[in-house]
Amino acid sequence: MRLEVRHISKRFPPVQALDDVSLEFPAGSVTALLGENGAGKSTLVRIINGEHPPDTGRVLLDGQPLALHSPADARRAGIRVIPQEPEIVPYVSVAENVYIGALSRRFGRVFDRAGLRRRVGEDLARLGFSRILDPDTPGRDLTAAQRQLVEIMRALTTKASTVIAFDEPTSSLSEQEVEALFDLIRRLRADGLAIIYVSHRLGEIFRIADRVAVLRDGSLVGVAPAAETDEARVVRMMVGRDLSAMFVGGSRRPHVAGERVVLSVSGLTTDAVTGVSLEVRAGEVVALAGLVGAGRSELCRALAGDLPIRSGTIAIDGVVTRIRHPWEAIDAGIAYAPEERKAQALLLSRTVRDNIVISVLDRLRRFRFVRGAAEREVAAGYVERLRIRTPSIEHEVRKLSGGNQQKVVLARWLARRPKVLILDEPTRGIDVGAKAEIYQIIADLAQSGIAILVVSSELPEVLGLADRVVVMRGGRVAGSLDRGSATEEAILELALSGGNT
């Protein structure tokens, strides 16, 4: 069936989110929906999902207008949207999370747990996720990637769908999981479903999409067959300017690292990593690469005092430091921006000002009172310095785009003037224009002498940002590559097979 939107407009005063957008999503085709944060992608998907009514225009399925007043209406029409941030019930199993609201019962009342487990096991095998998900795993123990796959299974194991929209489905997935998802999407396409695919990862768009539709400032800029366009053209359509100097093709100059070793880790062992040793010098960007589960994030959390350290030493500027709590890491000069900024880093209901100054309230007190004027001065200074796009410093941080939320997290830690900055997936879920700005901020911070440790699952990003790449595998360091010898092939070889470099 063909899904179509005709002359859709939607306004959230004072923003015109969508302006007269008309677009088709043909059956048996994957249409990539692209655009910067704020371009209108999410609003269009929410209208298709019945979450927002359009101010003008219609949604049609095979030429017939749909009355979509809620997501339930969309599901009854065969439309399913798989969100970027799934809602998982923490204290029930994967099997129960998948079929929540439709749990099978025996004799009318008794919950048929064994039957449900068999059913989900069959679903996992059919969808190609058997090696990635265990039906018995509690929701609270799932990784970000596994939570995403549970949400995908919910959409594909309930009422038959004719249209499926994926919103940033690979933002937390490993390469193995991405390939399993792409195989599934190809099967859905072959079965005649209309697929809407929203992603900021341009490289994967050309692996899976048949058509590319680009939104900018609420308007449809253009639609083109994926085989007849390229990344450079898509970027120009998205942002209205050329971002070729972002760092692509080795255009970024290496940072000039000093001789001073700021962060020195020796033999660090936790429940997730074993015997990890590495160094980061002043003005150097070191990237941690590896597959999901390699221990990269766990290492960062240990350095930030968020996971207990069983053995090993951490030295800052040559001084061995004992880190058992986050506040000890902060006092030592370590700043940490976690992967899941909304869940772990931001106070979403508080203002931009509150989120920035929370790390330096101890420095803004006079006697026992925090000086409001000092708070406003600090927050306004970093909003200007990092070019955070916000109506004011009193604006709720939840209402900012992903890129600007990440800048708020960076501003918070820069206000502490750290010696070491740890960034876990700093551009996850951020559009290409905001990525370029984040990359520039990282380059500027390195130039100022901060030692930077970055975790990224995007190999082009790793190669573009890093002066040195430390590859992890199975909780250990598999090898280290300098900028001259680091290639995607060399990183993957170490990540998959280990070795010494």
Domain count, the chain: 3
CA distances to 277, 302, 384, 454, 468 from 480, in Å: 11, 20, 37, 14, 7
Residue 222's nearest CA partner among 429, 21, 55 is: 21
The pair of structure tokens assigned to 420 is: 């070491």
Are 218 and 276 contained in the same domain?
no
Which pLDDT does position 105 carry in this prediction? 54
Are 397 and 477 contained in the same domain?
no
The helix, strand and coil proportions of the chain, stated in percent and rounded to the nearest 5, come to: 35, 25, 40
Would you say residue 127 lies in a domain?
Answer: no
* Rounded CA separation 44/48 (Å): 6
> What is the pTM (predicted TM-score) of this model?
0.62
Helix, coil or strand: residue 447: helix
| 3-class SS string, 8-75 | EEEEECCEEEEEEEEEEECCCEEEEEECCCCCCHHHHHHHHCCCCCCCEEEEEECCEECCCCCHHHHH
Which pLDDT does position 37 carry in this prediction? 66
> What DSSP element (H or E) covers 78?
none
Would you say residue 21 lies in a domain?
Answer: yes
Would you say residue 203 lies in a domain?
Answer: yes
The CATH number of the domain where 7 resides is what?
3.40.50.300
pLDDT tens digits along 160-177: 678 999 888 877 677 777
Asked if 312 contacts 269 with a C-beta cutoff of 8 angstroms, the reply is yes
Which pLDDT does position 1 carry in this prediction? 73
Would you say residue 113 lies in a domain?
Answer: no
Which pLDDT does position 248 carry in this prediction? 42
Are 83 and 197 contained in the same domain?
yes
Are 320 and 307 contained in the same domain?
yes
Residue 237's nearest CA partner among 432, 428, 16, 21 is: 432
pLDDT tens digits along 381-404: 999 988 888 889 999 998 888 888
Are 317 and 427 contained in the same domain?
yes
Are 178 and 310 contained in the same domain?
no
> What DSSP element (H or E) covers 319?
strand 319-321
Domain that holds residue 424: 260-333+419-431+450-501
Check residue 93 and report its DSSP letter.
Answer: B
* Rounded CA separation 405/408 (Å): 5
Residue 306's nearest CA partner among 321, 274, 328 is: 328
Would you say residue 424 lies in a domain?
Answer: yes
Percent of the chain whose predicted confidence (pLDDT) is above 70: 91
Residue spans of the chain under pLDDT 70: 14, 37-38, 101-111, 158-160, 172, 239-258, 367, 497-501
Are 319 and 465 contained in the same domain?
yes
Are 171 and 70 contained in the same domain?
yes
Residue 45 one-letter amino acid: V
Which pLDDT does position 242 carry in this prediction? 53
